[in-house]
Structure 1
């Protein structure tokens, strides 16, 4: 399965062999044996490379889940303080929410292996469904995802721009994050709700959008926590837009049956005596 996924991801037997540190014939033999066992072709030639067949794509979706479950199982049989926690987070949360939580957890539980994947919201929930991450830190999980919100933390989205700039913010250029970003989707939904059609400019990251707003290029919808210091210093100013600030709490989500190490991490980040104001809370009933 590992060899199959290497070929699937690289689109080349040679590239997969280099990544796995084996010979190309060994990779070809493994794929051939797998195809015989399954009774179907998993790849087809395309130019100088190969592409997955429909059967190959279907098989890949199952292999991702199997690999995720195997990694999860390896952690599940370990004691809580010697296991592994694979964290997935959206970019803003990874920069402004997680560092203090991870640092304090690592100091208290140094033998727990931590890893972090920073991805767009939808990719994170997909990884969680495939058991490729243990905890997701993002917005509300989509309905039907099978994920459970274990804890929340308050979070607001505000519209900010350069101080002293006058005019209707709904007529200014709106600076957007990349396609797939939850903040971008929220900004576009807000404009639709307000029946506004200002110029749009995609700048990719939240940091780039905020920097452009600070220089007077337009306004941007951003997590208040990410710009609090700039607002207090007067480098940015809040722009009055109907319907904002938007209440969008952070959600910590897991599968219905998290590992012992994952539960240990959740307990830690909800302990105010350990992480102070950065703590999440479980006052609301968990939701799937």
Structure 2
């Protein structure tokens, strides 16, 4: 069956949001709760889209539902459409009255962004800011779908369609409690969660060193640092996440070949950022506004 010519009329903002909620949650009931509507309203929205598309979008799987092949394909387009519509809604406003949707990896959201967002909010109170925290892979996938105006993480993957608008120096250092071990490759290494760029870098480093220490997954950088302070092992972590503990002598940096690693922070945007997004990037790069936390705009490679 082919899609009905009435698809544009059927694919309203509300129905597309409903479809994506069902797709992400795998449940009509969960989607209804998230959207604060009734389950029959969710089912009706999905049915309307299926009739207009001439295909089935979901099928039953146990007690839940899963997307069909058609549903998987449609989800990619829907995410882009909603992202672009949200971007357009922000783009039509002047810079000082727009909005900036920020996506960041966990460490950046905890140790880099709070102070920067606070100074920006004080300087530009009319701009609406939002922050979402995702793993590196999810972050850049969503940013490519225009779900975010800014992505803050490491270098964007090639072909992501993103531009590095600004960068700031950053290092990964191996830290642990003082006097923990003579050889850090013989003690447990504390890892962040699956999907974390820092975790992948840690495992890659151990592979290059042909080392096989015990591994313990803690989830977040904050949890890994806390565990390292308690003497559970060592952890490769963004220097900013351990700086205060290093300065206080609660942690020390341990040397292994290949460390520390340079991993600059990248502020990434679309090819045509909104005026509010450009204003936010300019703020990040202004030492008078953010002091030593300032980014720089030298060299703008495309992702």
Shorter-chain TM range is over 0.9
CA RMSD for the aligned pairs?
1.3
Residues 37 and 91 of structure 1: is their aligned pair in 2 closer, same or farther, counting only changes over 3 Å? same
Name the structure 2 match of 1:84: 99
Report if the CA contact (8 A) 2:143-2:151 is conserved. yes
Residues 24 and 203 of structure 1: is their aligned pair in 2 closer, same or farther, counting only changes over 3 Å? closer
Name the structure 2 match of 1:20: 35
Residues 218 and 13 of structure 1: is their aligned pair in 2 closer, same or farther, counting only changes over 3 Å? closer
3-state SS of paired residue (1:197): coil
Name the structure 2 match of 1:11: 26
Q: Tell whether 2:289 aligns with 1:274.
A: yes
- For residue 218 of structure 1, the aligned residue among 224, 233, 253 is 233
CA distance in 1 between partners of 2:200 and 2:220 (Å): 14
Residues 172 and 18 of structure 1: is their aligned pair in 2 closer, same or farther, counting only changes over 3 Å? closer
Question: Any residues of structure 2 matched to 1:180-259 within 5 Å, and which?
Answer: 180-259=195-274
Name the structure 2 match of 1:109: 124
Structure 1 position 79, deviation (Å): 0.6
Question: Any residues of structure 2 matched to 1:140-179 within 5 Å, and which?
Answer: 140-179=155-194
Residues 236 and 17 of structure 1: is their aligned pair in 2 closer, same or farther, counting only changes over 3 Å? closer
Structure 1 position 33, deviation (Å): 1.8
Name the structure 1 match of 2:5: none
Q: How many residues align?
A: 288
Structure 1 position 22, deviation (Å): 3.4
Report if the CA contact (8 A) 1:174-1:200 is conserved. yes
Name the structure 2 match of 1:40: 55
Report if the CA contact (8 A) 2:169-2:263 is conserved. yes
Q: Which runs of 5+ in 2 are unaligned?
A: 1-15
CA distance in 2 between partners of 1:231 and 1:200 (Å): 23
CA distance in 1 between partners of 2:66 and 2:140 (Å): 26
- For residue 76 of structure 2, the aligned residue among 47, 61, 68 is 61
Q: Which runs of 5+ in 1 are unaligned?
A: none
Structure 1 position 4, deviation (Å): 1.5
Report if the CA contact (8 A) 2:103-2:132 is conserved. yes
- For residue 261 of structure 1, the aligned residue among 251, 268, 276 is 276
